[in-house]
Chains A and B, each alone.
Chain A
Amino acid sequence: MNRELLHCREKIARMVQPLAASSGRKRAMQEELQAHLLAIFEEESAHYSSEKTAMQAAMSRFGNADELSKQLQASVPFLERVIYSCFGQKENGMSRFWITALVVAMIVWGLIIREHAEFMFGALCMLGAVGFCHLLQRDNALSRAIRPRWQELAGFFVALLGSGMILPGLAHYKQTLDPFTLLPSALGTALVLSGLTIAIYNWRKNRARLA
């Protein structure tokens, strides 16, 4: 029985681990699918004397692993799929090294060329984004509290980022009167509007879900 339990876990892990999804979601999927597969294996064991045959019958009832993996991937929310395709799926020591090197280079460059503080700001934003993604991958009280509302928070931070770009752009325009210097302000305004839209939309969606 323990060998078949292990076999069951391996089959489910092969279906779930490659998915582009947060580790919390994958863990929950694995646990739930394992519970189901184990339950139907125990049902089939009552009909077959061989555990191997019972497991084959259970897997036949459960469905094709590749097809199920595709269906599970399609059930992951779109934004989460995109984010974990970029940050979660292939993240390893090498990609962490390059992200860290890029952030450090941007901070150093920002310190050298102080009048272009956007490099420092960009580096801090990138660091914040990577940290946020890492937090969502963990399974602790804070990540469980944040995870259902991560889209609202992301929208809020995008709006905050945009608001930080508006006034410096306007001040620069006031000094130079060059219309091109308004571009950062325009981009900042667009970010504020998009961020607020995302935050409010998801806040209303969560509120409706809890109602």
Chain B
Amino acid sequence: MPAIDGDKLRGHLEMLILATLEKDEAHGLEILRRLEAGGCGLLKLKEGSLYPALYRLEAAGEVEAVWEKDNHGRRGARRRIYRLSSKGGRRLKQARGDFQQFVSVVGGILGAPV
């Protein structure tokens, strides 16, 4: 099965991030790991492009971020921990409904199993 890369992901990345954060808060690398695990290795994302999406979500108030208090023995810069806000939860719920409708309509036209 071909990988799902940047072009196909465009427009969906923010929803995927919100869905990932619904389970638990996480920093950027952990979000990527969850996306990879959830996509069974078929999601091929340039890792840096996660952060502009996170910053857009933060500006929209859909995620909140705090700097981690402890480096946990790592060297180098601190990480920010992101969590889903209530506004983000509402958007995710709406996006799920919209996507199900999209899949149902387009899948019906394509004749793909829904």
Contact = CB atoms under 8 A, between A and B. Distances in A.
Interface of A: 5, 28-40, 61-64, 67-68, 71-72, 74-77, 205, 208-209, 211
A61 B29 contact: no
B100 interface: no
- The interface size bin for chain B is 20 to 34
Given A31-B78, A38-B76, 15 more contacts: A28-B80, A35-B79, A36-B79, A38-B77, A40-B29, A40-B47, A62-B48, A67-B46, A75-B52, A76-B55, A77-B59, A205-B61, A208-B61, A208-B87, A211-B87
Contact of A36 (B51, B52, B56, B87): B51
A62 B55 contact: no
A50 B27 CA distance: 28
Contacts of B47: 36, 40, 61-63
A63 B52 contact: no
B76 A34 contact: yes
A64 B52 CA distance: 13
Which one of A63, A64, A208 has the greatest number of beta carbons of chain B within 10 Å? A63
Contact of B80 (A32, A39, A40, A74): A32
Contacts, number: 76
Contact of A209 (B49, B51, B61, B77): B61
Interface in B40-57: 46-49, 51-53, 55-56
Nearest to B59: A77
The 4 A-B pairs of least Cβ separation, nearest first, read: A63-B46, A209-B61, A71-B52, A75-B55
B86 interface: yes
Contacts of B28: 32, 36
Given A38-B77, A209-B61, A32 B51 contact: yes
Nearest to A71: B52
